[in-house]
Amino acid sequence: MARMTMIEAIRDAMDVKMGMDEDVVVFGEDVGYFGGVFRCTQGLQEKYGRHRCFDAPINESAIVGAGIGMATYGKRPCIEIQFADYVLPAYDQIVSEAARIRHRSNGQFTAPIVIRMPTGGGIFGGQTHSQSPEAIFTHVSGLKTLIPSNPYDAKGMLIAAIEDDDPVIFLEPKRLYNGPFDGHHENAVTSWAKHEKGEVPEGHYTVPIGKANVVETGMDVTILAYGTMVYVAQAAARENNIDAEIIDLRSLLPLDLDTIVNSVQKTGRCVVLHEATLTSGFGAELTALVQQHCFKHLEAPVLRVAGWDTPYPHAQEWHYFPGPKRVGKALKRVVEAQ
């Protein structure tokens, strides 16, 4: 087993799949010769040739649209969108086309395409390098939406995504690329080399789509989190001495409802976290499901802690980010509620 950053793990996943399956092609803006602005595809062009890993024009809609065409031909495109904020021009191709082709052609044509993109804030990227668009994908039938929180999962989930026969949105929390991040931006970041989830097996393995990961077991409250917020949840629970059960959802759609329901039925309390703006965020769906399936068990309302309903501001980044302090407050409110 090797220690890898999340970037290396993601690259390794593509490397493994490109080696196994010559239908896997990787493309996107700056991903070819240069290896991507976050270096996730570094070396792949050299290793697999310019027909397997190449640069694309700056047109996200065309990147996805052409990818869909390739997929219906029989390729398995694994596409990079440079920042999740830039996926919106491709939204029509993703929703009206990738997600619908199997159903509308009754299975004649399918679009097994993976659309990777760095998501979330924390790098002073301002409103156009920080957004978390998961909720606009989880609303779309026909798509799967994944978001790993560590190198091990990132590799295993990306391999699973590339092997999946349906279109997959693969969100990469960019703040985690180089190390787990607990929301205390004033502290130095620990690197993945020092984290057990930085241990990444060589070669092929998968982390199955649709399975959550119980990161911490606990009795006081269930925290539903994903991506960067998993570490914020841990920090907030620790700092407030709360015995929280923390679930890293990993797969938002399909969702591992059983794991969620079992946990909340046990703890009787639930807090839902995400970095995306609150209103109509994916936390709303989680909350709706929890109250429906755990109604009798709930001792307090499910609380959501999320990004404010504003654009992600540049200067006030850390006031916007739902850090351990805000999460801690919500945990206390929920745990102390009678």
Partner 1 sequence: MSDDKMPEATGPLSISIPEPPTRPGDAPDFSYIEVPKAGAVDCPPVDTKPEDMRDLAYSIVRVLSRKGEAVGPWAEFLGDDLNDESLLRGLKDMMKTRVFDARMLTAQRQGKTSFYTQCLGEEAIATGFQRMMRKGDMNFPTYRQQGLLIADGCSMFDMICQIYSNEKDNLDGHQLPCLYSFKDHGFFSISGNLGTQFVQAVGWAMGSAISGDDKISAAWIGDGSTAETDFHSGMLFASVYQPPVVLNIVNNQWAISSFNGLAGGRNAPFAARAHGYGFPSLRVDGNDYLAVLAASKWATERARRNLGPTLIEWVTYRVAAHSTSDDPSAYRPKEESDAWPLGDPLERLKLHLIKKGAWSEERHTQAMAEIESEVIAVQKEAEKYGTLNRGKGPDPEKMFEGVYKEMPDHLVRQRLEFEA
Binding mask 44-83 for its own copies (x = CB under 8 A): -----------------x----------------------
Shortest reach from residue 29's CB to ligand TPP, in Å: 5
Q: List the one residue out of 322, 119, 154, 118 whose CA is nearest residue 251.
A: 154
Contact by Cβ (8 Å): 274, 229:
yes
Whole-angstrom CA distances from 16 to 196, 305, 310 are 22, 37, 40
The total of other beta-carbon atoms located within 10 Å of residue 206's CB is 16
Structure token pair of residue 166: 């349906």
Q: What values do phi and psi take at 295, rounded to 5?
A: -50, -50
106 binds its own copies (CB under 8 A): no
User: Residue 60 or 153: which CB sits closer to ligand TPP?
Assistant: 60
Residue with tokens 């619908």: 100
C-alpha span between 143 and 148 (Å, rounded): 17
The total of other beta-carbon atoms located within 10 Å of residue 165's CB is 11
167 contributes a contact to its own copies by CB under 8 A: no
261-280 positions binding its own copies, by CB under 8 A = 276-277, 279-280
Sole window of 104-112, 151-159, 229-237, 261-269 interacting with partner 1 (rule: CB under 8 A):
104-112
CA 269 to the chain's CA centroid: 24
Q: Which of 3, 23, 139, 284 binds partner 1 (CB under 8 A)?
A: 23
Binding residues for partner 1, total number by CB under 8 A: 77
- Nearest Cα to 49, choosing from 33, 37, 61? 33
Minimum distance of its own copies from residue 291's CB (angstroms) = 4
23 binds, among ligand TPP, partner 1, its own copies, none (CB under 5 to 8 A by kind): partner 1
214, β-bridge pairs: 247
**Catalytic site includes residue 129:** yes
Q: Which is nearer to ligand TPP, 38 or 282 (CB)?
A: 38
Catalytic residues: 129
The residues binding its own copies (CB under 8 A) are: 61, 85, 88-89, 91-92, 95-96, 100, 103-104, 127-128, 135-136, 138-142, 253, 276-277, 279-285, 287-288, 291-293, 295, 298, 300-304, 309-311
